[in-house]
Amino acid sequence: MGAFKQAAYKQQSIQTASPGELTLMLYNGCLTQLKQAKRALEAKDIEARHLHIGKAETIIRELMVTLKQDAHIAGEMLRMYEYILHQLIEANVKQDEQALDEAILYVTEFRDTWKQVIQRDRQNRYSAGGGHE
């Protein structure tokens, strides 16, 4: 698939995704950036480390902004996102691989939990008759 077709497919995926799927995309994108940052940290590539950690920070901030404040768990999630941001800053400024690993761990856990929520939602809609036509 050519670069143009890949970009068009990606754009179409984003435009047709549900809010839950968009959140999952954000988590996956964040993990991609964090893994690239880890490779850059190990290679002592300061510029690449800074670039990828910066992109991951932007994604975490987007997750913070889109967090539903009326949700029961919103306050706890906000504190966790703030902690992840702190870990990313530590990883970037102090070249702290342990802080980066911890951020990766938390984002992976959030992503996996979110994926389960989406799957359960789909199953509930299907079993409620949403998938029978």
- Predicted confidence (pLDDT) per residue in 23-37, tens digit: 999 999 999 999 999
The residues, ordered by sequence, that sit 6+ positions from 46 with a Cβ below 8 Å of its Cβ are 40
What does the pLDDT average to over 53-57? 98
Under the banding of pLDDT at 50, 70 and 90, the label for residue 132 is very low
Tens digit of each residue's pLDDT (9 = 90 or more) over 79-124: 999 999 999 999 999 999 999 999 999 999 999 999 999 999 888 8
Distance CA 58, CA 69 (A): 19
* Angle of CA points 12, 85, 65, to nearest 5°: 50
Question: Among the residues of the chain, which ranges form H helices?
Answer: 3-16, 19-42, 46-65, 74-94, 97-125
Say what the pLDDT of residue 15 is: 63
The residues, ordered by sequence, that sit 6+ positions from 103 with a Cβ below 8 Å of its Cβ are 34, 56, 84, 87, 88, 91
Q: Which token pair is 45? A: 């590539």
Contact 41, 27 (CB under 8 A): no
pLDDT of 133 > 60? The answer is no
Question: Among the residues of 43-73, which ranges form H helices?
Answer: 46-65
- SS3 category, 44: coil
CATH of domain 21-110: 1.20.120.340
